[in-house]
């Protein structure tokens, strides 16, 4: 099929998941970090899209959004694919890293004073 002007293929999201619908697992966040656990067992009968996701994650970790961009899939479709792989224990997901909390200004002042005292 030819793509649209934005470069996205003209494939409906439900077809890109191989007909899979939502899973019983909790919904993955867009910034959840995905890691492949290992190669799927031979004869696992996984859809091509799930195999492509495992291939992209081979040897590293990506967020849901990054994996969706690499596979040129909608984020919602990738969340369905990842949830199915989580159910089969072929994938691990961890929540996104929370933004760093603001440091206590008093603590920073004490550290700076301590460093200055070491110089003298």
Q: pTM higher than 0.75 for the full model?
A: no
Domains for the chain: give ranges and CATH numbers.
Answer: 13-119 (1.10.10)
**Residue 68, pLDDT score:** 95
Q: Report residue 50 as tokens.
A: 């799930």
**Residue 1, pLDDT score:** 43
Cβ neighbours of 20 (radius 10 Å): 16
**Residue 23, pLDDT score:** 52
User: pLDDT 10s per residue in the chain (120 long)?
Assistant: 444 555 555 555 555 555 555 555 557 899 999 999 977 777 668 888 899 999 999 989 999 999 999 999 999 899 989 998 998 889 999 998 777 767 788 988 999 999 999 986
């Amino acid at each position: 099929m030819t793509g649209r002007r934005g470069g996205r293929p003209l494939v409906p999201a439900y077809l890109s998941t191989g007909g899979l619908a939502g899973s019983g697992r909790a919904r993955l966040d867009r910034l959840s970090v995905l890691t492949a656990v290992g190669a799927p067992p031979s004869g696992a009968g996984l859809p091509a899209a799930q195999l492509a996701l495992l291939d992209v994650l081979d040897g590293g970790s990506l967020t849901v959004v990054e994996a969706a961009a690499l596979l040129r899939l909608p984020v919602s479709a990738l969340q369905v694919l990842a949830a199915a792989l989580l159910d089969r224990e072929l994938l691990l997901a961890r929540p996104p890293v929370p933004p760093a909390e603001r440091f206590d200004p008093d603590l920073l002042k004490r550290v700076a004073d301590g460093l200055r005292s070491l110089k003298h």
